[in-house]
Amino acid sequence: MRKIAVFASGSGSNFQALADAVSNGTLEADIELLVCDKPGAQVIDRARKLNIPIYTFVPNTFPSKAAFEQDIVNELKSHGVEYIALAGYMRLIGKVLLNAYEGRIINIHPSYLPAFPGKDAVGQALSAGVSETGVTIHFVDSGMDTGPVIEQEKIPVLPGDTRDTLQQRIQQAEHKLYPAILHKLLQKDTIGGIVQ
């Protein structure tokens, strides 16, 4: 069974979707660790209820990004983590993590990349007045949402959509797509390459 860590910064709905998929057997993996950069985040409560180990940190208490990333790598290694799934983790991954887990870090982003990278992709889509946005699962590189795309799904922007209604539909798609694609990647052991 593949050992994964989930990185999250917020409410943890994608973390919960992955944990549920592990529980019901549709994602054959073990979530060994939650990594969170916000000690008060709701995702921590979700992990506690599931008895998943938690590593939290406050970035500005470290002398550098490299320092806190090395601390994270040490923690990941101590749990035998093989792959990382970013699920609403609101930090760019730096060289230390990228080097330690090259080709084994996956992210889910709430837009049809390359449109609307970075923060507030839902708000960006609404402000742009587009007729559709989407969900993208991609490998992580040193850029902001620039890594090779693994899978995408388009989501229509409906007349009268608000941030909440659009985000809800995007999350519904994310919660199905992310566990399914992670399962496929882990089963085929295609981490580090683009799935065709």
At 22-69, the pLDDT tens digits run: 999 999 999 999 999 999 999 999 999 999 999 999 999 999 999 999
* Three-state DSSP state, 172: helix
Cα 32 to Cα 92: distance, rounded to the nearest angstrom: 22
At 95-127, the pLDDT tens digits run: 999 999 999 999 999 999 999 999 999 999 999
- Consult the annotation and say whether 91 binds a ligand: yes
- Consult the annotation and say whether 51 binds a ligand: no
The neighbour count for residue 26, using CB atoms within 10 Å, is: 13
Instruction: State both tokens at 45.
Output: 């409560």
Cα 174 to Cα 47: distance, rounded to the nearest angstrom: 19
Q: Which residues of 42-56 are buried (b: 16+ CB within 10 A; e: fewer)?
A: ebbebbeeeebeebe
Q: What is the pLDDT of residue 196?
A: 34
Q: What is the pLDDT of residue 195?
A: 41
At 128-182, the pLDDT tens digits run: 999 999 999 999 999 899 999 999 999 999 999 999 999 999 999 999 999 999 9
% pLDDT > 70, the chain: 96
Q: What is the pLDDT of residue 70?
A: 97
Cα 115 to Cα 131: distance, rounded to the nearest angstrom: 12
| Whether 109 is catalytic | yes
- Consult the annotation and say whether 13 binds a ligand: yes
- Consult the annotation and say whether 65 binds a ligand: yes
CA triplet 12, 100, 110: central angle to 5 degrees? Answer: 30
Give 34's strand partners. Answer: 6, 54
Q: What is the pLDDT of residue 140?
A: 96
- Consult the annotation and say whether 92 binds a ligand: yes
Q: What is the pLDDT of residue 43?
A: 97
Q: Considering the chain, what is the average pLDDT of its residues?
A: 93
Q: How far is CA 46 from CA 12, 15, 43, 52, 108, in A?
A: 7, 8, 5, 9, 19
* Type of residue numbered 66: A
Q: What is the pLDDT of residue 177?
A: 97
pLDDT band at 189 (very low <50, low <70, confident <90, very high): low
- Consult the annotation and say whether 46 binds a ligand: no
Domains of the chain: which residue ranges?
2-188
Q: How far is CA 25 from CA 1, 19, 21, 76, in A?
A: 11, 10, 6, 23
Q: Which of 79, 109, 175, 183 is catalytic?
A: 109
The architecture CATH gives domain 2-188? 3-Layer(aba) Sandwich (3.40)
pTM metric for this prediction: 0.92
Q: What is the pLDDT of residue 187?
A: 84
Q: What is the pLDDT of residue 108?
A: 97
- Consult the annotation and say whether 107 binds a ligand: yes
